[in-house]
Amino acid sequence: MKNFINKKVLEIPPSGIRRFFDIIATMDEVISLGVGEPDFDTPWHIRESSIYYIEQGYTTYTSNSGLIELRETISKKLFQEHYLEYNSQDQVLITVGVSEGLDLALRAILNPGDEVIVHEPSYVSYKPCIIMAGGVPVVVETKLDDDFQLRAEDVEKVITKKTKAILISYPNNPTGAIINKDNLTKIAKIVEKYDLLVISDEIYGYLTYKGEHTCFATLPGMKDRTILLNGFSKAYAMTGWRIAYAASNRDIIKAMTKIHQYTMLCAPIISQKAAIEALNNGYSYMKSMIEEYNQRRRLIIESLNKIGLNCFKALGAFYVFPSIENTILSDEEFAEKLLLEEKVAVVPGSAFGDCGRNFIRCSYATSLNEIEEALKRIQRFFERYKK
C-alpha cells in the first residue's frame, strides 16, 4: 500500500519527548510539576450553573459565531479592561479553545509559503500549526539575559518579503516571562513599518504578578492588525471546557468564521454558557486563584535558586524555567532521571524549542505541599548531579 499520509503532516517532526511521556504514563505516585493546566477545579458557581443549563435543555448548536450573549459579554469586558471596542456582531468569534482560534487565524491569513515569525521557547503547537496552514515558521530566539522578552531588533532582522505575521505569546509558556510595554511598542512600530499582522495569544493574560498585562491590540495602530486570542482555560480553570474567543477586524473574523463554520460549526453550547457565567461572576474567584499562584511562585523561585538551579524571576503564567547548567545533565536526561529516581515530573526545555535546551519547565499549578515535597526531591537529585 502506498503512503496515504499528507506530506506536510509527515514532515512535522514528532515531539522529541514522546518517550518521556510514555514512561510517565506507566508510573504511579508521581509528583508532577509538568502539568500545563490549573490544579484548581473550575469554580463551583460555573459548574453549578452549567448543570442547571444542561437540565434546561441547552444541548443544541449555536450560531457559528457563538451565542450573542457571550460575544456581547466579551466585547463589554474588552472595553472595560482595555478600552478596546470590538463589535460583538462581527468582530468576535467564539472558538473551541485558543488552539482552534490559532489554527483559524493562521489558515485565514496564510498563503502557501508565507512566513510567520514565532519566538521560542514557546508553546509546542505554534510551529506545527503554521506548517499545517501552509506557512513557514521563522524562529526568533528569546534569551535569559533579556528575561525571555522578544526584542524588536531581533524580529526586524528576520523580516523578508514573505513575512506576513508575528505570533506573540506573553505571558509566556514555558518561561513564565511577561513582556513590558516598551518592547511591545517597538514591535508594534515594526508591524506598522512592514505592513504585518500580529497573532497575539494572551491566554495567560490575567496571570501576571507584577503590573498589568498589556494587550497588544491596545498599542497605537494595532487594533486592526492584531488577531487577539484569549480564552477561559487558564484564568478560570476551565481547560476541559475548550472555550475561547478571537477578536480582530471584520475581514479577518469573517474569514475565520468561514473556516470555523465548515470545520467546527460552533463551540459547545454548554461551554459557552459556562463562559458567560465565568465572565459575569467569576472575577473574585479568579483573583483568589491568582493570589495563590503568586505565593507558590515566590516559593518555587526562591527554593530553586537556593538549590542551585538558577531561575529567573518569572512574573507570569504558572511556570518557572530554571537553568540546569549547574548540573552535568542535558535537559532530557535531567527530566528522565528525575522522574525515574525521584518520581518528580518536569518538562525538558527543548520541548519548547532548541533554545530551551539548558532549561526545564516547572509548573506551580500544584498544591503547596506537593511543590515543597518536589523541591526536596529535586534538591537531593541536584546534589547527585551537580557540576
Q: Residues in the site for another protein, rule: CB under 8 A?
A: 20-21, 24-25, 27, 30, 32, 34-37, 39, 123-125, 173, 291, 295-296, 298-299, 302-303, 345, 347, 351-352
Q: Which is nearer to another protein, 217 or 300 (CB)?
A: 300
Q: Which is nearer to another protein, 209 or 245 (CB)?
A: 209
Sign of CA dihedral 206, 208, 209, 211: negative
Shortest Å, Cβ 372 to another protein? 8
Shortest Å, Cβ 75 to another protein? 30
Q: Which is nearer to another protein, 8 or 298 (CB)?
A: 298
Q: Which is nearer to another protein, 221 or 240 (CB)?
A: 240
Q: Which is nearer to another protein, 246 or 347 (CB)?
A: 347
Q: Which is nearer to another protein, 302 or 383 (CB)?
A: 302
Shortest Å, Cβ 301 to another protein? 9
Shortest Å, Cβ 322 to another protein? 16
Q: How far apart are CA 282 and CA 275, in angstroms?
A: 9
Shortest Å, Cβ 124 to another protein? 5
Q: How far apart are CA 108 and CA 297, in angstroms?
A: 37
Shortest Å, Cβ 37 to another protein? 6
